[in-house]
Structure 1
């Protein structure tokens, strides 16, 4: 099964009160691919994702899904195509894991429809994929940060959208679970053709898992393209103010960034 939804920003301007965060941004996200957005803190990464999911209305310009402005689409119609895992989501007090994940099925419900076998299967598959099935009856309040993050990812998966936006999906996860989640997203992309756009802080994870890499700096696109073309020493210096060395990752063949600090750097002849 493959999907083919176009999503792009046209002359997009975003901000909060008197502060402009993103100014006249033009950007296209490749359909049925994994895109990772990287950049320094406060460069506009999360702001962009919020606008793409219509949580933040634009001051000017549009986010277009299949040629339609997302801010003019009915909320439920949009939610059947586009799902969002925001940064630091908040669960209702006392809600169980199964009930929270089940909320991912709400866009597929109508006033007259009831919970179906298909809904049961979607929730079970999401819990299984994120290894949270054993937590189903527990309160979300009782979970560790890493467990809670996997439950939120399960809710996003249960929504079964063709486009999935994730803001720091590996937050609170140890390295083994980070790899597990990113492998899961790769499986989802390859099996269903899901268009995935995610914000990541880890440049090397972004370069390893993304088909398309976008480096933002001060609300503008500094570079975009294949990871090998974007993750360069010049780009890391310009976007993060960091000197580095870029080598080829021997396990993935993708670029690997080695930061240069003032200490623990081997001297060369």
Structure 2
């Protein structure tokens, strides 16, 4: 099992240029659980994740990991505990899948530390878990969008952090691979106690897989808690401007959102995804 770490935002304000995206947000991520962040486009989901991983410095407030401000922690020390898969990562030109996934091991290597058998084992396990082992010798820029996404997830897994942040990990994946990735993250959480925080567009997949649901609206925290408490018709109306019916999924027992009205939507396996 992994160590228990507390990740939290206190009165956090973040923005770009003159625009403030998140304003005075308070949030505590439940340790050892799966948290999904949902909200309309441009509400601050990715901005929040980037700030929590210290890619964006706060304008006000702070992000804390075990009571210490993440923006003041040494980069390598933070990377051994907290991993991030950003929304649109860019691989160096010509790099192979195995080499890219191997970069997830860098935080565990010191100046005089050579590549170790445990590094090989971590990379192999990550490739196997994401079904990308057969792609190990291929150049990343030759792969399809779905294959590349699975390779990036493999790199994040190879890092073997106790806290894992993922910005839309199911992007570019077909329905089958979306479920496989979310099942994989669930297995990782259950087996190792890894704290998982992910941004998802699909409300029903978020409600199905998350232990803790966070709904953002216009850069502010609208609701946070158990999916059954957060995913309500009122929440969907306020956060997305969408009329809906929320029922109990007969298969999972989780809340299931059914949109009504003339809104754009696309079907997935028993779920509806807002774009």
- TM-score bracket, normalised by the shorter chain, equals over 0.9
In structure 2, the residue matched to 1:65 is 65
- What residue number does 1:232 align with? 232
Q: Deviations over 1:136-186 (max 9, x none)?
A: 000001000000000000000000000000000000000000000000000
Q: Distance in 1 between matches of 2:140 and 2:97?
A: 6
The match for 1:196 is 196
1:85 corresponds to: 85
TM-score by length of 1: 0.97
For 2:2 and 2:95, locate their aligned partners in 1 and report how far apart those are by CA, in whole Å.
34
How many angstroms apart in 2 are the aligned matches of 1:7 and 1:170?
23
Confirm or deny that 1:154 pairs with 2:154. yes
Q: How far apart are residue 48 of structure 1 and its match? A: 0.5
Note the residue ranges of structure 1 that are not aligned, 5 or more in a row: 264-269
Structure 1 CA distance, aligned partners of 2:93 and 2:2? 37
Which residue of structure 2 lines up, in the alignment, with residue 43 of structure 1?
Answer: 43
For the residues of structure 1 that align with 2:193 and 2:14, how far apart are their CA atoms? Answer: 29
SS in 1 for 2:80: helix
Q: CA deviation at 1:250?
A: 1.1
> Which residue does the alignment assign to 1:185?
185
Task: Give the TM-score of the pair, scaled to structure 2.
Answer: 0.95
Q: C-alpha separation between the residues in 2 aligned to 1:98 and 1:250?
A: 41
Listed one character per residue, the Cα deviations across residues 235-254 of structure 1 (whole Å, up to 9, x for unaligned) are 00000000001111111100
- How many positions carry a matched residue from both structures? 263
Deviation at 1:66, TM superposition (A): 0.3
Tell me which residue corresponds to 2:29.
29
Q: Find the residue that maps to 1:198 and give its secondary structure.
A: strand
Inter-partner Cα distance in structure 1 for 2:251 and 2:90: 37
Partner SS for 1:71: helix
Match of 1:122 in 2: 122
Deviations along 1:33-59, whole A, 9 cap, x unmatched?
A: 000000000000000000111100001
Query: Which residue pairs with 1:221 in the alignment?
Result: 221
Match of 1:12 in 2: 12
Q: Say whether the 8 Å CA contact 1:3–1:192 is kept in structure 2.
A: no
Alpha-carbon separation, structure 1, partners of 2:261 and 2:169: 27
Please list every run of 5 or more consecutive structure 2 residues that lacks an aligned counterpart in the other structure: 264-275
Give 1:266's aligned residue.
none
